[in-house]
Amino acid sequence: MAQNVASAPAPSLRQEPASSKSPERRSPPFRHTYGAVDLGTNNCRLLIARPFDGGFTVVDAFSRIVRLGEGLSHSGALSDAAMDRAVGALAICADKLRRRNVSLSRSVATEACRRARNGEAFVERVKRETGIVLDIIEPQEEARLAVLGCHKLLEPGDGPALIFDIGGGSTELVLVDQDAGAPKIRSWWSAPWGVVSLTESEGKVALEGPDRLKAYRRMRERARRAFASFASTLPSDAPGIRLLGTSGTVTTLASVHLALPAYDRRAVDGLHVPVNAMQRISTMIAEMGHEERAALPCIGRDRADLVVAGCAILEAIVEIWPAKTLGLPIGEFARASCVRLWRATATPCEAHPHRKGAKTVVDAMARAPAERSLRPAGQGGKLPQPRRIQAHRTG
Instruction: Determine the Cα–Cα distance for residues 268 and 330; give it in Å rounded to an integer.
Output: 8
Higher pLDDT, 329 or 82: 82
Instruction: Determine the Cα–Cα distance for residues 350 and 228; give it in Å rounded to an integer.
Output: 42
pLDDT single digits (tens) 267-277: 887 788 999 99
Helix (H, G, I), strand (E, B) or coil at 333: helix
Higher pLDDT, 14 or 237: 237
Give pLDDT, residue 66. Answer: 95
Is residue 339's pLDDT more than 70?
no
Model pTM greater than 0.85?
no
Give pLDDT, residue 159. Answer: 78
Instruction: Determine the Cα–Cα distance for residues 197 and 155; give it in Å rounded to an integer.
Output: 31
List where CATH 3.30.420.150 sits in the chain.
150-328
What phi, psi does 184 have (nearest 5°)?
-125, 130
Higher pLDDT, 15 or 120: 120
Helix (H, G, I), strand (E, B) or coil at 100: coil
Which CATH superfamily, name and number, covers 150-328? Exopolyphosphatase. Domain 2 (3.30.420.150)
List where CATH 3.30.420.40 sits in the chain.
13-140+332-392
For residue 1, count CB atoms less than 10 angstroms from its CB and return exposed for 0-12, middle for 13-18, buried for 19 or more. exposed
Instruction: Determine the Cα–Cα distance for residues 381 and 360; give it in Å rounded to an integer.
Output: 33
Give kind and range of the element (H or E) at residue 1: none
pLDDT-wise least confident of 53-67, 212-226, 353-367? 353-367
Which CATH superfamily, name and number, covers 13-140+332-392? ATPase, nucleotide binding domain (3.30.420.40)
Query: Which among 125-134, 228-237, 329-338 has the top mean pLDDT?
Result: 125-134
Is residue 149's pLDDT more than 70?
no
pLDDT-wise least confident of 46-55, 72-81, 371-380? 371-380
Higher pLDDT, 344 or 69: 69
Give pLDDT, residue 283. Answer: 94
Residue 323 one-letter amino acid: A
Confidence of residue 382 (pLDDT cuts 50, 70, 90): very low
Is residue 65's pLDDT more than 80?
yes
Helix (H, G, I), strand (E, B) or coil at 277: helix
Confidence of residue 19 (pLDDT cuts 50, 70, 90): very low
CA distance readout (Å), 341 to 61, 347, 391: 17, 10, 7
- Region of 64 (left: φ > 0; alpha: ψ -120 to 50; beta: rest) is beta
Give pLDDT, residue 385. Answer: 32
Instruction: Determine the Cα–Cα distance for residues 179 and 189; give it in Å rounded to an integer.
Output: 22
Alpha helix (H) residue ranges in the chain: 72-75, 80-99, 111-115, 119-130, 139-150, 195-202, 204-208, 212-231, 248-257, 265-268, 275-287, 290-295, 300-304, 307-320, 332-344, 369-372
Other CB atoms closer than 10 Å to residue 29's CB: what's the count? 6
Instruction: Determine the Cα–Cα distance for residues 81 and 72; give it in Å rounded to an integer.
Output: 12
